[in-house]
Chains A and B, each alone.
Chain A
Amino acid sequence: MTNKASVSQGDLADSVSARTVSAHGLFAGYEPRSNTYDEHFSQKGVARKHVELFGEEFARIRPAEFRERWRQAQRLVHENGITYSPFGDPHDQPRPWNLDAIPLLISSQEWRVVSAALEQRAVLLNRILADLYGPQELLRRGLLPPEILFSHPGFHRPLHGQRVPDDVFLHLYAADLARAPDGKWWILADRTEAPSGTGYALENRLVISRMLPDIFRKCHTERLAPYFIALQEKLHSLARQHRDNPRIVLLTNGPDHAHYFEDAYLARYLGYTLVEGGDLALRNNQVMLKTLGGLLPIDVILRRPNSGSCDPLELEGDSQVGAAGLLQAVRCGNVSFANALGSGLVESPIFMAFLPQLARILLGESLKIPGVATWWCGDPSVLKFVLERLDRVTIRPAFRQRGGGKRMSERLNSLPREELAARIKARPRDYVAQEQVSRSSCPAWMDRTMVPAHVTLRAFLVSSNDSYKVMQGGLARISPSTQPPPASSWEGEGSKDTWILSEGPVRPITLLQKPGHAIELRRGGVELPSRVADNLYWLGRNLERADAAARVLRALTLRLTSEIPWAAMVEIPVLLRVVAEQGQIEPGYVVDGIKEHLPSIERVLPNIVFDLSQPMSLRSTIERLCRSASIVRDRISVDSWHIIHRIDERFRPSATGHVDLSSLIELFDEVIIDLAAFGGMVMESMTRTHSWRFLDIGRRVERCMQTIGLVKSSFVDVGQVQGPILEALLEVADSRMTYRSRYLANLQMAAVLDLVLTDETNPRSLAHQLLQLVRHVEALPRDRSKPLYGTEQRLAMAALHAIRMADVHELARFDQFEEDDPLRNLMTELEVTLPRLSDAISHKYLMHVGPAQQLSTIRPE
């Protein structure tokens, strides 16, 4: 680091005082590295001025108490399920977010200086964007080499000439900062496409402020909320129609993307609908949200996908994350994007080589904080300079491809020097060289001691009036190694909350306060996107499927571990048949002549339960349950999410991998109780919107199917109905208590069938499920002026009617369950009707028309 222009704020803070404080307690053994600027200590045992108060307060916490608080904080991270890797890839388990216990502390005095520099940089980058997408004066005046645009893979011609409100392309900007040994800040990288990390910064704050509530307040820590309020105001102001009450959505790449956790989290925090490309439709050059209640216009899109993915008609044709015609809607002024499409252009490292000069010419000032020195190899004299210094610089691709940048850079710099030089010489304009960066350090709590870790800081800005507003905080990333910093926060080894410490008291502020506006009361939920309704429906189905599987497995395992000889238990073949019908075990286990050749069930059962290669194993069902819950996380309560998370955590084989039947029973008990808790949460804490309705429809449909399967399996191939079979049926159908209270131990077929099938007052009966389904279907949005019932209404009513018209005494006159047996007929009829009902609902409310296709074209010949 040689640039002399840099400010030195660290010196300023230190000169005032160097009292020896806070060197006791947990910081006692902390030793800052030599030749490195330490953010908290100017030397061993000497805290920097702005850290003193924190140090004093922190020292009051006894080590044992700290460790307990930290354990609780980690539990919170864990329960909130903060992760940063794809949900979708089964081979890549989401890794938990790695948060450090000690916040990074920065004085507000210093942060003001950093903020001014970042505002300057954001303004400059926006000016460059406005020029390159407009008059391109910078190329004509020779201020930027034309290659910067013409060989930029992210420069999409159709985006040129778009008009954006107030010429602001860059609404959200993030910069990665590091501090050199002399205390000067440097900017390592710019993020202008769709900067990520604010959601993680929020989560970090939530956890750490809860862990250190007193210190957080006493240290006058600035709040993050003003940044998000400014963001909301900005997005609101971008609406060109419906200015009073614009519809703002967060467009995500979807649940398979690494940032989905953050997208869902932010959407909920900011109060916006989370949408995917498939939720959008274009009508009359207006972007619409596909909802249960029809198409609703969208005014502003907070964008997470890359610009090029947003419109398969005009940009990248193979993309499914955007919607065809979006760009035309932008041109017509019917929708605004934040950031504007194309904003990612200037985050390529090549621009850093030209920013110092552009700042002087466009703004008439030098950069307040310099970027790390960058040389573009496309200039022949620079190329020579770089080739002479290959050992001392880092080579990076000049044009950033979002996602693959870091690996590419690592690969390049691990090449033998001659090969690297040859690569650069072959296409010099595709490479930049950057000065190698050393970073400051900060105490981190690792393995029960304080050790110095290297820090980089991501700061966030949002455009506000003519300039930018900086978040009073940020996302600090730490790594114990001295390697160059990771290219993105997801690849770093850990993160820290960042506290900006104010001189005076900080006004508490939350997103909930909307001064001066009386809120318009709303009930409803027709705005539910069809895709979300679909996911909720499947969440409901997976819940019941898991419950049914666990209950029958428990009934079976209880009997397998009983003292009675198996041969004496007539219900075991019945239970095996149910388990086989559910697809959990091989059908061979219920076929005489085959089952003798299979390994004994009690030996294989534990493995079968956890076998992920079997799609219908209980563990597989739970995987699907967790996945469907994670997709609709922004629609279910935090407590409900914790239950799902707990099921996922607990329902696993022990660490040794060995599970015996009795511990299996314990696991079944737990999962059944947890599922019931989730069901209770749904009933008690979800408002009766369509979200709830679709979840419940899924549950009811699945419970019907399971009950039908149970009844069929209980009576097919059974010579004579015996008490133990009826007992098992009641047990699995969770109706044993009711039966006992009504009939004591007198087990009779008609009474059992009444309770399980026709008794509408039993919330477990088939009739009850069908009655609820009829009511749900009736309440779905539809054109009320149409005189006839819809298909889904007729099917639901037909099913309910069939069960109501059934005479249990006749059903109980059990006759081998052969053809013409009334019970069998009834079950078969319902078994046909219910999937049709499910299809009818899907078809009308949930189904997408399928992925968009490109028209084929004919080439000129």
Chain B
Amino acid sequence: MRKKKNRINRKTVLAFATLTVFFLLFAKLAYLQIFLHGRINRAVEKMVNRENVEVPKRGDILDAKGNILTTSIKNYTVFLDAKMIEDFETLKEVLSENGIKIKEKKICDFKNMSYIPIAFDVDSFTVEKIKKTKLKGVGFEAKYTRRYPQRRLLAHILGITGRDGGGLEGVEKICNANLSGETVKTKIIRDGRGQIIRNKSLNMEEICGCNIELTIDRNIQFIAEQELRKAFELYKAKKAICIVQNPKTGKILAMVSLPDFDCSDKIKDIRRLRNSAISDIYEPGSTFKIVTVAAALEEGKIKISDTFYLENGKFKIAGHTINDDHKIEGSATLSGIFEMSSNIGMVKIAQRLGGDLFYDYIRKFGFYSLTGIDLPGEAKGLLMDVKRWNALTLPNISFGQGIGVSALQIINAFSSLANDGVLLRPFVIQKIIRCNSEEEIFEKKEIRRVVSEDTAYIVKKLLKNVVDMGTGKSAKIQGYTVGGKTGTAQKVDPSIKTYSTKYYTASFCGMVPAMKPEFVVLVIIDEPKGSSYYAASVASPVFANISKRIAEYLRIEKDDVK
């Protein structure tokens, strides 16, 4: 009986002890779950959960045919964590095999640091090779960098990006919001070995920036750049500009400003970033005569058959003498005036038109207002208000002096005549391609009708005569009819505050084919040095070289079989 009692006691004690242990465990569990759950959860979340900032790839900029002009590539910064390095010699050897050299001395200086960058812009192939060695103490930080496979081509149009990846100039700036994409924060889980487990799969293509397709054809751009660069170097010019435009749509096919820069290099001279083709203004000289003639014809102030007495090459107005470079004896027809680029003839035409009407047409052709091109930094130009014009203003402006225009405004005015008198908005961005392949297409935009179709036809005929028989003979190209106008403008010398006899701007603006133009080309050579400064010998040959190559490239049907 006693034995049985002892056994019960032992069983009871054991059960009691077990229950106590379970009770204590339960109590501890309850304490952790109820009272400490918040703190523990936070600690675990801190250890396991990570917020990851997914930086999207900046969109590409493409030419009219889809060739990449600029793109972003994922590159890596390789860094060392000095505390984690186990075998420095092997690490040094592996990195050296992959083209990364490290100095032991430098590492010793930062031995307590966890982030010692040792190489920048390392490509993913190299990074993969290093990763495979599974060495401890080496890390990689991914970053997108902008690349320009076409080097200098289109530098001013593409523009540049800053350190933060944002656009600072050109299309990079104007389309920054579209190109940048959307930065997304995602949650990732890290396990005990540091491996990442994503709780949601993210398609990076959905957040990346849009691609921008330009109207510019890289082949046409290359032709224009190559020919212009030759002339720029030959004449040791201060600046040179070339624009090629499709007059039927307003699309810019090429735009070159020299001197230029290489987008991939560090830009030493910030002035080179300036896109002279749209940001600089100059006195156009005789190329502006199309405005005077077109306005007078449109208003019926002159007829194609009219003749004008040209004062034997010297014409006095308000105490000033206006000279003709190409002297014409006696009188000349409108065509003769245009062919020989007579300043006196142009003054007489402008006088028939009068100041107010002339001013209206200057504005109608788009001068002294922005063309609306989709590039930053466009200049409006300079033009005195008609109420403040003096006796010399009208005569001067009639042959393109005393007015400041941009190269883009001049070519757009020529294009309006080539487009049967309708002025269009010039543009360089034709498509925005979103990540989901949706496209936003930009079409041609009509600004206004400037002159009638008939007037435009007569001016085109006059321009053709300039190349066939006048000052623009050197702009002729084999197989095609060409219409165009030369312009040799004196520049104002700031030191003497009057027109210089040393510094000139030579330009030529023309269209091919002459009567049904497919493209318009403007060439400007600023301050050419050498034996000649005349547009006929400096700018027109450059126009001819560019136009011939472009016409052949675009396979435009030959219209001059002579």
The finding on whether chains A and B are genuine partners in a shared complex, rather than unrelated, reads: no
- The interface of chain A, by Cβ under 8 A from chain B, is none
